[in-house]
Amino acid sequence: MLQNLAFYLSLVIVIVLLIMLAQKIKVAYPVLLVLAGLGISFIPGTPIVNIEPELIFFIFLPPLLYEAAWNSSWKELWRWRRIVFSFAFVVVFFTAIVVAFAANYLIPGFSLVLGFLLGGIVSPPDAVSAGAILKFVKIPKRFQSILEGESLLNDASSLIIFRFALIAVATGQFVWHQAVLDFLWMCIGGVGIGILIAFLFMKMHKLLPTDTNMDTIFTLVAPFIMYLAAEEFHASGVLSVVSGGLFLSIRRHRFLSGSSRLQGVNVWQSFSFLLNGIVFMLIGLDLPQIVSGLGDTSIFQALGYGVLITVILILIRIVASYGAVIFTLIMRNFINVADSEPPGWKVPLVLGWTGMRGVVSLAAALSIPVTLADGTPFPQRNLILFITFIVILLTLVVQGLTLPILLKKMKLRDRDFTKSEKEIDYEIRNELAKIAVNKIKTNYPEKLEKFPALKEQFQIWENRVNSSEIIINYPEYQQIFADILDHQRNWLINKNREELLLDEEIVRKHLRLLDLQEERLSLGK
């Protein structure tokens, strides 16, 4: 490990540079990172990267899922709960079944049980991949909510299928009633353990004399404990992290101070940024190791199987999307649905084209044991690994690159939000100012003359309430304000350099205040 330290440090720099390039050319960065990892793996002298599944499952998966759950909207998840749960469970199970029969019929030497094993691995669209790509794609809010909710939950259902299929291959038997009970425990136990641990962490934040740094450390530790505790009790670690993250996210303003929330956001953004980059780069780097284990199967045959399974996965998801729409149109006659307006043919097509696979599928494939209990090689392990890699590569590259083009061609309107972001932002700011003005007039009118700073802020709020103009050319206003802030910052830095007896802690405090103003300015885009 230490002898390759320079290589791994160089990879981090390469990841950052590639993400810069992705932002410049407006391409989802997972695509570039996977392709770059693939290219680097063929450079002579490149160290062989062996990805341990435990590393993915325990080191990468819990924090990435937790961060996704923390940033998800429970309100939107509940609104679209029926379609989210149907895609996260029903569609995943249906996909695994179709892949199982297709692999059994089309790939020589593939039993039905091995087909189910492959189906459990490749059936779930990946939370990490979906989240990373959606940040670079303009998509209606309802699609984003559905995809985020689905990708948070479907890992659990696919890993359950994978575990049962793995047991069936190893033991040669499958007990249905035991599988059903295990499935129920993994779901209920995973959710229950996640919420229980989240509740305990919330109490720790409230009752213990924590500061901002301690609060941040607690949030970093929480997902690992949630995942490990659930797995120790043979429940779903994925559901534990997701449910615990949602529980704490909804209540964040009850137990975290403003400074803890601000610092936590900054730390988690940097942490997840690094983890995401490393994961996608590792996917590409692992290809030579996978290809070397194909054995008697030629790479062209294996490539053909991978393309075939990928096409089947894409078609199943598109069919399932249209099926969900038809089912919703039927059920609206009997129950209240989230959207009673017919979505048309474009919406299911776009939804069906968003099934990118990623880190969970690769980790599951890598966790297949090399040998069975009796010492014989695990059947078709290397071919399953290669097919999984091709599925990840094709869905990320093909769907990830073409999704923006498809959205542009379809011209889908956001039916939930008819007002622009600036208009909504302006209205909320005005209402907040109005609330502040009324509060001061009702409770503190006599304090205005006593505290000049309060009077000054009161006038700012009052001017905002009385103003009916929206800043149309916001970028120009932003540039002017940013220039003023930069001028103030330079003055502070120079003053600190020139006056030796000036307390630098006070200077830094004011520099942080200027940074906060600049951050508020950027949020107004």
More confident residue, 135 or 140: 140
Which domains are assigned to the chain? 2-410 (1.20.1530.20), 421-523 (no CATH)
Confidence band (pLDDT; 50, 70, 90) for 311? very high
Residue 100 CB partners (closer than 8 Å, separation 6+): 112, 115, 116, 118, 119
The residue among 374 and 228 whose pLDDT is bigger is 228
What is residue 307's predicted lDDT score, i.e. its pLDDT? 93
Instruction: Give the mean pLDDT of 98-107.
Output: 90
- Confidence band of 524 (pLDDT split at 50, 70, 90): low
Q: CA 297 → CA 31, 293, 309, 361, 378, distances in Å?
A: 27, 9, 16, 21, 15
Question: What pLDDT does residue 174 have?
Answer: 63
pLDDT band at residue 223 under the 50/70/90 scheme = very high
Percent of the chain predicted with pLDDT > 90: 15
Q: Which H or E element spans position 107?
A: none
Q: What's the confidence (pLDDT) of residue 130?
A: 66
pLDDT above 70 as % of the chain: 85
Predicted TM-score of the model (pTM): 0.81
Nearest-10 Cα torsion for 54, 56, 57, 61: 160
pLDDT (0 to 100) of residue 81: 82
Nearest to 237 by CA among 167, 309, 187: 187
Contact 77, 84 (CB under 8 A): yes
- pLDDT band with cut points at 50, 70 and 90 for residue 245: very high
Q: Are 10 and 253 in contact (CB under 8 A)?
A: no
The candidate with the shortest Cα–Cα distance to 87, out of 355, 382, 393, is 355
423, pLDDT greater than 60: yes
Output the pLDDT for position 333: 61
Instruction: Identify the weakest region by mean pLDDT among 12-26, 138-152, 325-339, 498-512.
Output: 325-339
- Banded model confidence at residue 218, pLDDT cuts 50, 70, 90: very high
pLDDT higher than 70, residue 474: no
Can you give the pLDDT at residue 93? 87
Query: In the predicted model, is pLDDT for residue 235 greater than 80?
Result: yes
* 3-state SS, residue 421: helix
- CA 310 to CA 164: how far, in whole Å? 23
Instruction: Write b or e for each residue in 293-329: b if 16 or more Cβ atoms lie within 10 A of its Cβ, otherwise e.
Output: eeeebeeeebeebbebbbebbbebbbebbbebbeebe
Report whether pLDDT(419) > 80: no
SS3 464: helix
Mean pLDDT of the chain: 81
**Residue 393 amino acid letter:** L
Instruction: Give the torsion through C-alpha atoms of 100, 105, 107, 110, to 10 deg.
Output: 60
For range 186-205, the mean pLDDT: 94
239: left (phi over 0), alpha (psi -120 to 50) or beta: alpha
Nearest alpha carbon to residue 150 among 166, 129, 180, 165: 129
Tokens linked to 510:
């004011």
pLDDT at residue 186 is higher than 70: yes
pLDDT digits (tens, 9 = 90+) for 250-268: 888 888 887 788 888 889 9
Pick the residue with more confidence: 118 or 336?
Answer: 118
State how far the Cα of 394 lies from the Cα of 272, in Å rounded to an integer: 24
Distance in angstroms (rounded) separating the CA atoms of residues 219 and 202: 10
Report the run of H or E that residue 461 belongs to, with start and end.
helix 452-466
**Exposure on the CB side of residue 39, measured as CA atoms within 13 A:** 9
**What does the pLDDT average to over 443-462?**
81
Q: SS3 letters for 37-104?
A: HHHHHCCCCCCCCCCCHHHHHHHHHHHHHHHHHHCCCHHHHHHCHHHHHHHHHHHHHHHHHHHHHHHH
pLDDT at 86: 83
Q: What does the pLDDT read at residue 160?
A: 80
Distance CA 326, CA 92 (A): 18
Confidence check: pLDDT of 293 > 80: no
Helix (H) or strand (E) holding 404: helix 400-410
Query: 325 is written with which tokens?
Result: 């729409």
pLDDT of 494 = 83
Over residues 476-489, the pLDDT tens digits come to 767 777 777 788 88
Residue 375's pLDDT is 76
Q: What is the pLDDT of residue 458?
A: 81
Greater pLDDT, 170 or 106: 106
For the cut 60, the answer to whether the pLDDT of residue 2 exceeds it is: no
